[in-house]
Amino acid sequence: MTDRELLNLARSAAESAYAPYSRFKVGAALECAGGRVFTGCNVENSALGSTMCAERVALFKAISEGERHFSRIAIYGESEDYCMPCGACRQVLSEFSQDMEVLCAKASGGYVSYKLRSLLPHAFRLGSY
């Protein structure tokens, strides 16, 4: 799958976003090492702290289906600027694959690509200090 195809899946996933509070729809498409793709969208809640990001929805879907290794994640936000993963998502993704590529798209279609490791150097791990 090309980067552009994965980004298109992320953009489609954003259409399912439940974001009545921020009005900011996010979609993610997570590619597993074996090629399966899981998508996710942000799911907000009136108790705002109970909101879940698109990236973690995609990751938790994949983990719950037995996947553990990931090669890329595409993130699409309806914003003028590139939609970068929040700190919590960087930490949770890094639990599994620090070398995955993170494709960050903006509404107009452009994207930037990073290694997860470069977005969260020295990620927390139990017992790593």
Query: Which residues here bind ligand THU, judged by CB under 6 A?
Result: 19, 22, 24, 26, 42, 44, 51, 53-55, 85-86, 89
Closest to ligand THU by CB, 40 vs 67, is 40
Closest to ligand THU by CB, 47 vs 126, is 47
The CB-of-47 to ligand THU minimum distance in angstroms stands at 13
Please pick, among 15, 55, 65, 78, the residue that the annotation labels catalytic.
Answer: 55
The CB-of-17 to ligand THU minimum distance in angstroms stands at 7
**Closest by CA position to 124, among listed 99, 84, 87:** 87
d(CA 21, CA 76): 18
Catalytic status, residue 67: no
36-47 CB burial, b ≥16 within 10 A, e <16: ebbbbbbbbeee
The CB-of-111 to ligand THU minimum distance in angstroms stands at 15
